[in-house]
Amino acid sequence: MKIQNICCIGAGYVGGPTMAVIAKKCPNIKVTVVDINEARIAAWNDQNVENIPVYEPGLPEVVAEARGRNLFFSNDVDKAIDEAEMIFISVNTPTKTYGEGKGQAADLKWIELCARQIARVAKGDKIVVEKSTLPVRTASTLKDILTHTGNGLSFQILSNPEFLAEGTAVDDLMKPDRVLIGGDQTEEGLEAIQALVDVYAHWVPNEKILTTNVWSSELSKLTANAFLAQRVSSINSLSELCEHTEADINEVARAIGTDSRIGPKFLKSSVGFGGSCFQKDILNLVYISRTYGLQEVADYWEQVIIMNDHQKRRFAKKIINSLYNTVSGKKIAFLGWAFKKDTNDTRESAAIYVADHLLNEQSEIEIYDPKVKKEQIYTDLDYLGSRSSEENRANLSVGTDPYKICEGAHAVAILTEWDEFKSYDWQRIYDSMLKPAHVFDGRNLLDKQALKTIGFQVHAIGTAD
């Protein structure tokens, strides 16, 4: 089977970049990305590629090359489904906020809606590809809906989880460590797997395309994210011990990272991991394990989240304790709001929780982030429901000049590791602040010694003050 038309439902951080790269690498395949959100599609179609809704280094160039040639963004979901032989589902699967599994299970409402829409519209056989991260065995739900509500057509369900990290999405997609494709081990299933292998084979070496059964593929995605998050929680747990023992977490990370069995990546201690995936996927793993009665397995993974919540709270408490146990009426400047550098994504960003904690203590906060829009910051805080949106706006403001937001502040807190923060004129910032002037470096980004020489009181994660 040769794929000529691909449709992707969901033009978000996963669907948009992934399809843009497929279109770039496969000029003979027409790729249409659809979304129910009209504003989002309009932004993807903006004449100026710098205005596309997802900020990723290198992405505007990829979109500029392929858009209008074989890459299209549209709100006409039915038409794109009808035309495509292969349909990727890349809609969001947030943690449930209601009912059974609230706070843990993945909400599969949107996935099910997609399946029903595909079943209603399809006039020919289709391969449906799960791109969204899903609980293991979701493929059977999809298959059930498609076969029972479809027009007697044949549907193959593949799992093809995305491993891209935000901020490096284009590189990760162009040179993936591996591509994982799971499908039924039947003749039709293997044919469908091969059709998707052929798409990736346009640019990914064969030995990097792994095929498995569908359940292994679904579970591997959750497992990969759980392992990565676990590393961050592990190093963060030891960062607290370092602060009490005069060991330095950066030195410890370097020392253990040179062991080739451990490896150097993902050992950077921080104010806590964020992003749309880690917490959601682990909660999901915990929920599934409990569903099968595997209490110890569930507790084991839940601890990764408990540690991460502790790290965020601990950072906020450190600010309060260092400012003589009260931040009421004191201005604290935040540098960074995104959950990591080089993205405008703020989902589950540690900054949100640190700000919330400080606002509960009646602190005043001013924020600067190079890529996050003001309205997004207010939306993030309002979503927590800790106080009215008027109160959030009264006590927290968002600036466009990093030097200005630091003026008259008692403390500067680094929440995201944006490179530009390193090259600021820190003497100028120091001069404009109240004294003693504190820096709380939640990313171990800045040169601690240089800041101390200027006169700052420096508090970094995982080193004694």
Q: Is residue 10 part of the contact set for ligand UDX (CB under 6 A)?
A: yes
Q: How many CB atoms neighbour CB 306 within 10 A?
A: 11
Longest dimension (CA), the chain: 74
Place of tokens 């309002």: 382
| CA gap 101, 91 in Å, rounded | 20
Q: What ranges in 162-294 are assigned the alpha helix state H?
A: 169-174, 187-200, 214-245, 249-257, 278-291
CB of 390 to ligand UDX, least distance (A): 27
| Residue 7 within binding range of ligand UDX, rule CB under 6 A | no
Tell me which H or E stretch contains 31: strand 30-34
Q: Which of 274, 336, 442, 462 binds ligand UDX (CB under 6 A)?
A: 274
Straight-line distance from the first to the last Cα atom of the chain, in angstroms, rounded to the nearest whole number: 63
Report the DSSP pairing between strands 126-130 and 30-34.
unpaired
- Stretches 87-95, 239-247, 319-327, 400-408: which one binds ligand UDX (CB under 6 A)? 87-95
Q: Write the interaction track for ligand UDX spanning residues 220-259; mark x where CB under 6 A is met and - where it is not.
A: -----x--x---x---------------------------
Comparing CB distances to ligand UDX, the nearer of 228 and 358 is 228
Site residues for ligand UDX, window 105-124 (CB under 6 A)? 110, 113-114
Residue-wise DSSP of 401-465: -HHHHHTT-SEEEE-S--GGGGGS-HHHHHHHS-SS-EEEETT--S-HHHHHHHT-EEEETTS--
CB of 41 to ligand UDX, least distance (A): 9
Instruction: Return the bridge partners of 6, or none.
Output: 31, 86
Binding-site member from 67, 331, 340, 448 for ligand UDX (CB under 6 A): 340
Q: How far is the CB of 1 from ligand UDX (least distance, A)?
A: 25
**Which residues are CB-contacts of 195 (< 8 A; sequence separation ≥ 6)?**
1, 2, 3, 85, 86, 127
Cβ closer to ligand UDX: 364 or 417?
A: 417
Least CB distance to ligand UDX at residue 21 (A): 14
Question: Would you please indicate which residues are annotated as catalytic (active-site) residues?
Answer: 162, 221, 277
**Least distance CB 98 / ligand UDX (angstroms):** 17
Task: Report the alpha-carbon distance of residue 47 to residue 64 in Å, rounded.
Answer: 9
Considering the rule CB under 6 A, would residue 40 count as an interface residue with ligand UDX? yes
> What is the number of the residue whose Cβ is closest to ligand UDX?
12
Give the H or E element holding residue 184. Answer: none
Using rule CB under 6 A, residue 9 touches ligand UDX = yes
379 touches ligand UDX (CB under 6 A): no
Q: Does 95 help bind ligand UDX (rule: CB under 6 A)?
A: no
Task: Kindly indicate which of the ranges 8-16, 358-366, 378-386, 445-453 contains the residues binding ligand UDX, using the contact rule CB under 6 A.
Answer: 8-16
- Please give the DSSP secondary-structure letter assigned to residue 67: B
User: What is the helix (H) or strand (E) element at residue 16, kind and residue range?
Assistant: helix 15-25
Closest CA to 363 of 402, 400, 413, 312: 413
At CA 441, angle to CA 439 and CA 443, rounded to 5?
Answer: 165
Give, as ranges, the residues between 279 and 318 that touch ligand UDX (CB under 6 A).
Answer: none
Which is closer to ligand UDX, CB of 183 or CB of 336? 336
Residue 165 binds to ligand UDX (criterion: CB under 6 A): yes
Which CB, 211 or 220, lies closer to ligand UDX?
A: 220
Minimal distance in Å, beta carbon 339 to ligand UDX?
4
Size of the site for ligand UDX (CB under 6 A): 40
Instruction: Give yes or no for residue 402 binding ligand UDX (CB under 6 A).
Output: no
Residues that bind ligand UDX (CB under 6 A): 9-15, 35-37, 40, 90-93, 110, 113-114, 132-133, 162-166, 225, 228, 232, 266-268, 270, 273-278, 339-340
